[in-house]
């Protein structure tokens, strides 16, 4: 079959340029424009990178039009139903589902890396008691390079693998410690006898005064949420990790940058913003007023947890979480008026012309906060929960990039400032 290409004719120079379609296994055709500037002298302008593929990747596939999400080819629905977070982590990192022996080894490695350097706990004590957990998380993770610098050589595949495992293992320990710091509780050390999600719940909620039994329903749904958040191809935080990684920076610095990017309300911070919004709306009666505000271009209010850059049909993660939300509240014997409110909001928005025309649907964050709330996790910790799951995606993408010859990420701009002018001495201005 002939190579697919788009031929560009530049009337200015009279030159033609073939833009080849880059071979991918599925997805929309993507033009290789890397020769455009060299051959014709043009850059491309794509604010927000809405039509730009920044890299090739084997990890995650999304078809936003059809509402498809697959990790390494496996549909998210199957992984959510049948897998575990650590197995998904292995899959994302290494490309294949593990054999039983491989999984045992991986689980052991992660378990034995969950403790953090004691001095890191001391470092955490320096934060004010009401510091936001995401501020603590990005600060402490960034500082990990100072604690685990023994042989940190990003050119050594074994060192890279060790750093990836350390990040996956220690992120829940650090996130739970950030919460305990805000409560004034003593540190809780990871328990090796527990699984990944159970261990996190234990580190969050156990106190020295009494025994703490992990609720298996809570641990299961948390594992599910971590699976659903594990990777999402080149989203803002992952692209940040790759951009920082392209400079050769250490993986802790790259991940700290990813955490900072995730914190924004347009990205991972939306789960916290959704719950704050639902509380602000208060009752089903107020829904129409807030829908009206969301449509008003002069009002900065947006329906948080609604809309997505890529999904224009439905977010498959939101479908799974919506169902899990109902199941978990029922299994835990809890009722939450916010769930009724969220459903009413969804119902009205999905019938409204504004949202229909713009293809705005609930995203992964619309219902996740209601589950976290049911587990007793405070709103300020929601984005940190997202960060725990997404760490797997960040390090998998960082490993993939590190295994591939990569140029430093360096976008250009359209300069719109003053053209050349002469300096004027201060007394003459």
Q: Which of 114, 134, 139 is nearest to 124 (CA)?
A: 139
Contacts of 310 (CB under 8 A, 6+ apart): 62, 64
Q: Is there binding between residue 305 and ligand ACO (CB under 6 A)?
A: yes
CB 341 within 8 A of CB 387: no
Q: Is there binding between residue 48 and ligand ACO (CB under 6 A)?
A: yes
Q: Name the minimum Å distance from CB 230 to ligand ACO.
A: 12
Helix, strand and coil percent figures for the chain, each rounded to 5: 55, 5, 40
Which residue among 229, 267, 299, 352 is the active-site one?
A: 267
Six-digit token string for 288: 């129409």
Q: Is there binding between residue 389 and ligand ACO (CB under 6 A)?
A: no
109 is a catalytic site residue: no
Q: Is there binding between residue 308 and ligand ACO (CB under 6 A)?
A: yes
Q: Name the minimum Å distance from CB 161 to ligand ACO.
A: 27
Q: Name the minimum Å distance from CB 207 to ligand ACO.
A: 32
Give the span between the Cα atoms of 313 and 136, in whole angstroms. 36
Q: Is there binding between residue 64 and ligand ACO (CB under 6 A)?
A: no
Q: Where in 309-338 is the site for ligand ACO (CB under 6 A)?
A: 309
As a whole number of Å, the CA-based R_g of the chain is 24
267 is a catalytic site residue: yes
Q: Which is nearer to ligand ACO, 47 or 405 (CB)?
A: 47
CB 152 within 8 A of CB 159: yes
When binding is defined by CB under 6 A, the residue of 363, 368, 397, 401 that contacts ligand ACO is 363
Q: Which of 252, 263, 232 is nearest to 397 (CA)?
A: 232
When binding is defined by CB under 6 A, the residue of 142, 172, 190, 307 that contacts ligand ACO is 307
The H-or-E segment that residue 240 falls in is helix 236-245
Q: Is there binding between residue 294 and ligand ACO (CB under 6 A)?
A: yes
Q: Is there binding between residue 107 and ligand ACO (CB under 6 A)?
A: no
Q: Is there binding between residue 266 and ligand ACO (CB under 6 A)?
A: yes
Q: Name the minimum Å distance from CB 408 to ligand ACO.
A: 26
Q: Which is nearer to ligand ACO, 253 or 345 (CB)?
A: 345
Residue 88 DSSP symbol: H
Six-digit token string for 400: 């993939």
CB 110 within 8 A of CB 391: no
Tell me the number of residues near ligand ACO by CB under 6 A: 19
Q: Name the minimum Å distance from CB 308 to ligand ACO.
A: 5
Q: Which of 389, 360, 312 is nearest to 71 (CA)?
A: 389
Which residue among 128, 308, 357, 422 is the active-site one?
A: 308
Q: Which is nearer to ligand ACO, 143 or 363 (CB)?
A: 363
Contacts of 67 (CB under 8 A, 6+ apart): 311, 313, 314, 315, 316, 319
User: Which spans of this chain sit near ligand ACO (rule: CB under 6 A)?
Assistant: 48, 266-268, 270, 294, 302-309, 358, 360, 363-365
Catalytic residues: 267, 308, 365
């Amino acid at each position: 079959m002939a190579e697919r290409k788009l031929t560009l004719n530049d009337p200015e120079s009279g030159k033609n340029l073939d833009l080849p379609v880059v071979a991918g296994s599925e997805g929309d055709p993507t033009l290789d424009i890397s020769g455009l500037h060299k051959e014709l002298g043009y850059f491309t302008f794509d604010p927000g990178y809405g039509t730009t593929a920044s890299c090739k990747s084997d990890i995650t596939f999304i078809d936003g039009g059809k509402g498809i999400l697959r990790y390494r080819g496996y549909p998210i629905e199957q992984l959510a139903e049948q897998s575990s977070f650590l197995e998904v982590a292995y899959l994302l990192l290494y490309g294949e589902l593990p054999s039983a022996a491989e999984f045992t080894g991986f689980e052991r490695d992660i378990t034995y890396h969950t403790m953090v350097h004691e001095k890191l706990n001391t470092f955490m004590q320096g934060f004010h008691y009401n510091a936001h957990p995401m501020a603590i998380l990005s600060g402490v993770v960034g500082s990990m390079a100072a604690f685990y610098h023994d042989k940190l050589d990003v050119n050594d595949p074994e060192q890279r693998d060790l750093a990836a495992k350390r990040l996956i293992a220690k992120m829940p320990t650090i996130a739970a410690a950030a919460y305990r710091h805000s409560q004034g509780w003593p540190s809780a050390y990871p328990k090796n006898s527990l699984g990944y999600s159970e261990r996190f719940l234990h580190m969050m909620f156990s106190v020295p005064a009494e025994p703490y039994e992990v609720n298996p329903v809570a641990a299961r749904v948390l594992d599910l949420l971590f699976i659903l958040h594990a990777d999402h191809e080149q989203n803002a935080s992952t692209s940040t990790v790759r951009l920082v990684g392209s400079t050769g920076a250490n993986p802790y610095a790259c991940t700290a940058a990813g955490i900072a990017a995730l914190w924004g309300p347009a990205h991972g911070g939306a789960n916290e913003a959704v719950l704050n919004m639902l509380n602000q709306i208060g009752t089903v009666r107020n829904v129409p007023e807030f829908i009206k505000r969301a449509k008003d271009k002069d009002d900065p209010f947006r329906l948080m947890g609604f809309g997505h850059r890529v999904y224009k049909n439905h977010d498959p993660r939101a479908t799974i979480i919506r169902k899990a939300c109902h199941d978990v509240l029922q299994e835990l014997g809890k009722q939450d008026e916010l769930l009724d409110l969220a459903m009413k909001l969804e119902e009205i928005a999905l019938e409204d012309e504004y949202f229909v025309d713009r293809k705005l649907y609930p995203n992964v964050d619309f219902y996740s906060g209601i589950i976290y709330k049911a587990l007793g996790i405070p709103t300020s910790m929601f984005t940190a929960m997202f960060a725990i799951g997404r760490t797997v995606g960040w390090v998998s993408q960082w490993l993939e990039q590190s295994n591939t010859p990569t140029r430093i990420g360096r976008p250009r701009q359209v300069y719109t400032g003053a053209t050349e002018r002469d300096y004027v001495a201060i007394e003459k201005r």
